[in-house]
Amino acid sequence: MVEVLEESELLRRNVICIKKQFLSTTCVKKIHWQSNLLHELYSSSSNRSMLVQKLLLENTVNHPLVKKFPPKLSYQLAFLKDIITKLERHGQEVLEALYIVYCSLLSGPTIDSSCHYRHFVIDHSVTITIRESSKLISQGTTGLCSWQAALTLADWCLCNCELLRNRRILELGSGTGLTGLCVSLHCKPSSYWFSDCHPAVLSMLQSNIMLNVTGQNKHVLGDSHEDNSVVTHTCSGDENVSLACDGHEWTELCDRSQILLWKMCNNAEIGVLNLPWEIIPTSDFVTWLSPEVILAADLVYDLSLFPVLSQAFSHLLHKRSCVLFLACTVRNEETLDAFIQLLRTMNLEATEENLSPPSVLYYSTDVPGKLYRVSAIR
Ligand SMILES: C[S@@+](CC[C@H](N)C(=O)[O-])C[C@H]1O[C@@H](n2cnc3c(N)ncnc32)[C@H](O)[C@@H]1O
């Protein structure tokens, strides 16, 4: 009996491992299949293989979260094709439902193919759902999809929650919001301010935050989830943000169009700012926010942005005691070195943090990533 339970527990864990990789759309060729699971899939007992195939289907393409918030259609097809090919190559009977789902996806309507969803399972109670563009660059911006550095930074934060707990955090260039949602929903900061400057990015960022903090994706997962939010304000145009903080009206402190969303969630303040790096040195609101930790992922890619980005860093780090964590993908070593050198000329020190292999989240590390702790030299 004990052995049977252990066997089914092992199968459950192995299937969950595939589910996590599928939901976050890990490249099909890079999906890590546990040898035990493959052994059961190719099992000489047809019943056992059918059971495994059924479980895989239920936890991937037929998962309720996938039905409601689908990953890229081409990804789903490639995943199914990979399983079918594996089985056929081993002369194993293929579950009819696998063929049926594959054919129905092939012939079905392609809904909103310009965007797709990815789901990042952090633990049994937190899954982050991100809607993003299917193109790396669209509407003239890189901010409509999640980049590897966002995953690197999110994974590092999830493993170093103690540095972020009860901290006031500001994120620069948040893009789709992946890093910030992982941190704000899992690491218990006292406040988390997302920011960006591109209108389409800001709009996608806000809808991703609402999707996750209101638990729309959790109801699909079947979790018992309560919306812990206390207050939400979404602001547009000239709408007045009338929130009183420490005796100040925020409208006194900032341009009204700067705060786009403000929400309390699990006792943490979550907000979205329209914050071009250019205005950081003159923003009273940023001074008032007084962040203790600043997060930034994949912002070092365009030489023409270096002056404004480094000045923003310098202003934030010299004005107050805080630390900045900058995650980069090393596409070009020279470009990255040039930025780190520029920071030195501004009396900012960038030291490299040890990056462990992906731990909570799944992502490719084919292109190396680096994480810097940047602080003011005093
Ligand atoms: C490569 S994307 C990275 C997005 C996200 N951090 C990630 O890693 O997935 C760069 C982001 O910086 C934002 N950005 C670029 N120039 C900016 C500026 N001057 N002020 C504020 N944000 C800017 C873009 O809109 C975009 O969202």
Q: What is the pLDDT of residues 252-272, one digit of tens each?
A: 555 656 899 998 988 899 999
Q: What is the pLDDT of residues 305-359, one digit of tens each?
A: 999 999 999 999 998 889 999 999 999 999 999 999 999 999 999 999 999 999 9
What does the alpha-carbon distance between residue 202 and residue 206 come to, in Å, rounded to a whole number?
A: 6
Q: Is the distance from the beta carbon of residue 283 to the nearest atom of ligand 1 less than 6 Å?
A: no
Mean pLDDT on 34-53: 91
Q: What percent of the chain has pLDDT over 70?
A: 88
> What pLDDT score does 243 carry?
47
- Location of structure tokens 């910030």: 180
| Confidence band of 4 (pLDDT split at 50, 70, 90) | low
Pocket test for ligand 1, best of 279, 298, 309, 324 (most atoms within 8 A of CB): 298
Check: CB of residue 182 under 8 Å from CB of residue 327: no
- Residue environment code for 250-261, b if the CB has 16+ CB neighbours within 10 A, otherwise e: beebbeeebbbb
The highest-level CATH class for domain 135-376 is alpha beta
CA 269 / ligand 1 centre spacing (Å)? 22
Check: CB of residue 271 under 8 Å from CB of residue 261: yes
What does the alpha-carbon distance between residue 209 and residue 88 come to, in Å, rounded to a whole number?
A: 42
CA 198 / ligand 1 centre spacing (Å)? 8
> What pLDDT score does 26 carry?
96
> What pLDDT score does 241 carry?
42
* Among 215, 213, 217, residue whose Cα is nearest residue 271: 213
Residue with CA nearest ligand 1 atom 23: 173
* Among 260, 265, 258, 208, residue whose Cα is nearest residue 231: 265
Residue with CA nearest ligand 1 atom 5: 175
What does the alpha-carbon distance between residue 73 and residue 169 come to, in Å, rounded to a whole number?
A: 36
| Confidence band of 229 (pLDDT split at 50, 70, 90) | very low
**Phi/psi class of residue 246: alpha, beta or left (left: φ > 0; alpha: ψ in -120 to 50)?**
left
Query: What are the sequence ranges of the domains in the chain?
Result: 2-107, 135-376
* Among 323, 316, 307, 339, residue whose Cα is nearest residue 373: 323
Q: Is the pLDDT score of 19 beyond 70?
A: yes
Ligand 1 atom nearest to CA at 327: 8
> What pLDDT score does 137 carry?
80
Q: Is the distance from the beta carbon of residue 155 to the nearest atom of ligand 1 less than 6 Å?
A: no
> What pLDDT score does 230 carry?
27
